Every structure is written in C-alpha cells, then in structure tokens.
Amino acid sequence: MPVLRMGVIGVGGISNTHIRGILKSDNLQLVAVADLQEAQLERCGEQYGIAQENRHLDYIELLQRQDIDAVSICTPNNAHYEVAKAAIEHGKPFLLEKPVAMNREQALELRTLAAERQVKNMVAFSYRYKAAARYAKHLIEQGHLGKIHHVYGKYLQSWGLRDVPQVWRLSKQHAGSGALGDLGSHMLDLTRFLVGEITEVICDADVITAKRQLPGSEEYGTVDVDDYCHYMAKINADIRGVFQISRFAFGRGNYQRIEVYGSEGGLVYELEQEDTLSVCLGPISGKSLDYHQLQVPREFFADQMQSFYHVVTGTDDGLSATIEDGYINQNTIDAIITSSQNRAWVTL
C-alpha cells in the first residue's frame, strides 16, 4: 500500500497525538512540521528527529512542498479556518482539529470550498475512534435499545480550578468559545454519532474565574469565554438530551460519560473504561434488568491517524467525521452560544 507523506502544521500539545499516530502507522510518514513560534518548532524538531530543513516557520512553504501528500492542522482555533483554506487551495488533503472554525460562516466556506475542489478531509473528533463508542453506535443502530428516549452526557475536567494563566483557550479571540468549543464540541459530535441530529438547544453558560494573570506578565486579563456550559437538546424531534460541560469539576482529569436509554434497554459509555460498555440489554447479553460490563469485540477497534489514511485513499469505513460534520458541529456551537445570550430555545 502507498505511503502518505505527512506535514504537521502547529506543533503545540495536541500535535503530539497526531505525530505519534503518524509514527506508529506503516502507511504514514512524517516529513515536515511548521509553527509560527520558533522555540516550539525547534523543540518538536529535536523531540522527533526532524531535520532542520524540514522545519518551517511559514506553513505556506510546507503546503507548497511536492513531497507532502497531506497535512494535520493542529493550530489554535483561530487559525483553523485560514490554514485549512490554504490547504484546500493547495490541493492537500487535511486532518483538521476541532472546532473547525470560529463561527458557522467560516465553517460553511470551508465545507463549500473542499467540496468544490474535491479535497479529501477529516475532522479530529477523536472519540469516534474509541471502540466502546463504536460498539455503542452499533448496538443502537441494530435496535437493541429499542426506541431511544433520553441521552445524558457529561464532559468534565478540573484544570480551570488551578491558578493557570490566561492561555489561548481562555480567550475568545483565539478560541471562539471556552469549555463549549473545547469539550462540548466532542459531546455534540458523539451525540450525533450515536443517535442523530440535534434540532433545538437551550443553554446556561458562564465564567467562574473572570480574571487570570497574563502569561509572562504581572498584569491580569479578563476571561471572556465560558468556564462551564450546561445545555439541553432536542434530537431527531423525539429524543431529549441533557449535557454538562465544565473545566471546574473538582478531581476530574478527562471525565467523559454518555448514557443512552431506550424502550428496550440502556447503555453507559465512559471514556475511562477503555474496552467495555455498561449495558442493560436483556437477550443480547443473557441478563436483564441489571447493568453489567460488556466486552467490546475487536472489530470495533480503530485508530484516528490510520483512519485518516483510509479517508485519503478512499478505503475508509464511513465513520470518520468530515468538514461537513465539522460545519454542523460549529453551527450547533453558535446556536448554543446564542441560546445562552438570549436565555431561550434556539432551533437549528
């Protein structure tokens, strides 16, 4: 099978996930990296043994290289639109971190342009590659839960409680939104992945710590993005969902949980329970009216970077997110923000 020669644009924290996935795959090769911050670029180059000539301060130079077949875009949110648009214009298939843009208008432009230019793409909604999430989707689609009535989800972290400076994730100018875009975008995508389209939302979101010290300064800046976001949703017209998103959940590192309840059964997916689901499904598991662990079959295991290779080469399983999914996600984020501001239901 051909090897896909990869470039990585933006070498901050999340890029390590992409790079490790590239290095692990027999079908992907890390060729070059790009970042605006020279010190960060050099650290990445040294860590992964990337030759000096393959380290770029200008990402356009990377996109212009003939030995780059595709790129991962791992920049802060405010650069997603600009870099992804440039990748499309250069005809480079791209894997884009989420959320895909700063607003629905930018996301719509990326969706339209990628379709017009026929550039292969994928959005890094990474929890689509958790085996338990894929197995949960399978059980729901096979009808083992019956008619779905409720979905309850939470994505909780605690780092907002710490005395952290005002990093880019805490700035509307750089992130677009706070916990909603960072964590809630994953919950929105997993909800669509499992049970269907969100049609209406209502939200309460706010800031808990309004002032944080500016990096490298004695001065304090104002936090202008949400520290938490609680929203309710109508899904497929007749499913109801309740979701809790927060960076202020004491003791939580990366806690993610989804409960799905139907007329014939229920299941619980937890990120920290790697290869199992908690289910109450009756005949499929030989038990009824109690929740117990169900092992996930090997056929549901997948890898994000390997899946990108399959998307680019046209051999994917159809379960990966594309810029179309990214646009729908961003449109929902914008609707939730509007709901929070207006204190009212918003129809998508």
Q: Is 90 exceeded by the pLDDT of residue 287? A: no
Structure confidence at residue 72 as a pLDDT band (50, 70, 90): very high
Q: Is 70 exceeded by the pLDDT of residue 52? A: yes
Count of all residues that appear for the chain in the document: 348
Structure confidence at residue 290 as a pLDDT band (50, 70, 90): confident
What would the mean pLDDT of 251-279 be, rounded to a whole number?
Answer: 94
Convert the pLDDT of each residue in 267-283 to its tens digit: 999 998 878 999 998 66
pLDDT for the residue 275: 83
- Rg of the chain over Cα atoms, rounded to whole angstroms, equals 21
What would the mean pLDDT of 284-299 be, rounded to a whole number?
Answer: 81
- 4-126 CATH fold: Rossmann fold (3.40.50)
Query: Domain segments of the chain: what residues?
Result: 4-126, 131-301+321-347
Structure confidence at residue 195 as a pLDDT band (50, 70, 90): very high
Residues sharing a CB contact under 8 Å with residue 65, sequence separation 6 or more, in sequence order: 7, 31, 32
pLDDT for the residue 274: 79
Q: Is 90 exceeded by the pLDDT of residue 289? A: no
Three-class SS state of 157:
coil
pLDDT for the residue 19: 98
What would the mean pLDDT of 310-319 be, rounded to a whole number?
Answer: 97
> Is cis: bond before 99, omega within 30 of 0?
yes
What is the spatial distance between Cα 44 and Cα 48, in angstroms, rounded to a whole number?
6
Considering only residues 60 and 288, tell me which one the structure prediction assigns the higher pLDDT: 60
* Percent residues over pLDDT 90 in the chain: 94
pLDDT for the residue 2: 87
What would the mean pLDDT of 235-264 be, rounded to a whole number?
Answer: 96
* Percent residues over pLDDT 70 in the chain: 98
Instruction: Please give the mean pLDDT across all residues of the chain.
Output: 96
Distances (CA, A) of 167 to 34, 98, 173: 21, 17, 11
Is 85 in contact with 63 (CB distance < 8 Å)? Answer: no
Structure confidence at residue 212 as a pLDDT band (50, 70, 90): very high
- 131-301+321-347 CATH fold: Dihydrodipicolinate Reductase; domain 2 (3.30.360)
What is the spatial distance between Cα 188 and Cα 195, in angstroms, rounded to a whole number?
11
Instruction: Please report, as a single letter, which amino acid is at residue 7.
Output: G
In the block, tokens 């549901």 appear at: 300
pLDDT for the residue 273: 83
In the block, tokens 């944080």 appear at: 212
Is 300 in contact with 138 (CB distance < 8 Å)? Answer: yes
Considering only residues 284 and 11, tell me which one the structure prediction assigns the higher pLDDT: 11
Three-class SS state of 92:
coil
What would the mean pLDDT of 60-81 be, rounded to a whole number?
Answer: 98
What is the spatial distance between Cα 142 and Cα 87, in angstroms, rounded to a whole number?
38
Instruction: Please report, as a single letter, which amino acid is at residue 22.
Output: I
What would the mean pLDDT of 231-258 be, rounded to a whole number?
Answer: 97
Three-class SS state of 148:
strand
Q: Is 80 exceeded by the pLDDT of residue 260? A: yes
What is the DSSP annotation of 160-208? GGS-----GGG-HHHHSSSHIIIIIHHHHHHHHHHT--EEEEEEEEE-S
pLDDT for the residue 1: 67
